[in-house]
Structure 1
């Protein structure tokens, strides 16, 4: 089977958002109770500056998705990361510079039966090629010894720690905030 990675226009992304959210729910093990709110949020994301999306498919089925956009101070995620840095003694000059020009990797998910086959690597690589920012930032749930596909992917692409063991408001799980300079 041949897997293709494809850029999605904002219209294409919005159109297939329900299918993409299903992949997200399955990959994250979330309940379908949040499906409608996630579809709405994903469709609103296309309005963000430099919105970019890619999907992986086999010609018949969508197998993975990644999307993001340029981060800025008015976004909840940005405000939470800044709070995390303040709680750890304040952002350094380099961190403040990073927060002024970054691409937020908002979501990246691959259908569980296709994980570990390099699809996530291809998705994230293509997404970041079109990011048009100085840095890429993302968050991922913490796992013991970074022992999962997500951490392996991010480390293989050069992401380093910005904040560890961070709790977003409204979530009981600790997260790693990671960053990578972009060319």
Structure 2
């Protein structure tokens, strides 16, 4: 029997309070080395202080089964500065102006494996971007074919920088993807979005 999923928006304080529960979802979806979880928690807490922070929690039977969050991207933020530099180095100044001059930076979208293939990731992504004042949404995800890229492309995201390596993760190439806001709708079914997007550990 299908289980109803409720989406709840969390303010920064509420998000910080439930980080331990969110890390359980993150750990199940991403399977990171356990010793890296404290660093991920620190990054998530730090992001609550960024401008325009918004978080969405997916709940089934009062249990967190997914979460997503984003914030306004600007100079001085680690991810924003690293990607901006990467685009300049690769001569992508047109993309830099088009996609990173006024972005909503999507940090995390994760769904617990027990709740995947129910459209939760797509719903959270659209809810996260709904009514935002920014012109674009941007994120990073692992390079190569994946369910995550399928989901993002179906929502209007395109690759603007591919096989990009973040400092500290030279052996794990990423794609930087961007979309104009508001996001496009799609009837394409969602496929296992629990491993998307993935940010490097350095925050």
Aligned-residue offset at 1:141: 0.8
Deviation track 1:130-183 (CA, whole Å, cap 9, x = no partner) reads 43210000000113xx2x221121011010111011001111200010000113
Please tell me whether the aligned partners of residues 88 and 96 of structure 2 are also in contact (alpha carbons under 8 angstroms): no
State the partner residue of 1:100: 101
CA RMSD of aligned residues (A): 1.3
Alpha-carbon distance in structure 1 between the residues aligned to 2:143 and 2:31: 15
Map of 1:1-183 to 2, 5 A cutoff?
1-92=3-94, 95-143=96-144, 146=145, 148-171=146-169, 172-183=171-182
Partner of 1:67, secondary structure, is strand
Q: Report the TM-score when normalising by structure 1.
A: 0.92
Q: Distance in 1 between matches of 2:49 and 2:86?
A: 26
When structure 1 is superposed on structure 2, of 81-90 and 163-172 the one drifting more is 81-90
Q: Distance in 1 between matches of 2:17 and 2:132?
A: 22
Counterparts of 2:36 and 2:69 in 1: how far apart (Å)? 19
SS in 2 for 1:57: strand
**Structure 1: which 5+ runs fail to align?**
none
CA distance in 2, matches of 1:21, 1:140: 19
* Alpha-carbon separation, structure 2, partners of 1:113 and 1:50: 30
Secondary structure of the residue aligned to 1:73 is coil
- How many residue pairs match? The answer is 179
Aligned counterparts of 1:22 and 1:59: Cα–Cα separation in 2: 16
Instruction: Report if the CA contact (8 A) 2:73-2:105 is conserved.
Output: yes
Q: C-alpha separation between the residues in 1 aligned to 2:131 and 2:68? A: 12
Structure holding more helix per residue: 1
Q: CA deviation at 1:95?
A: 2.7
> TM-score under structure 2 normalisation?
0.84
Secondary structure of 2:80 counterpart: helix
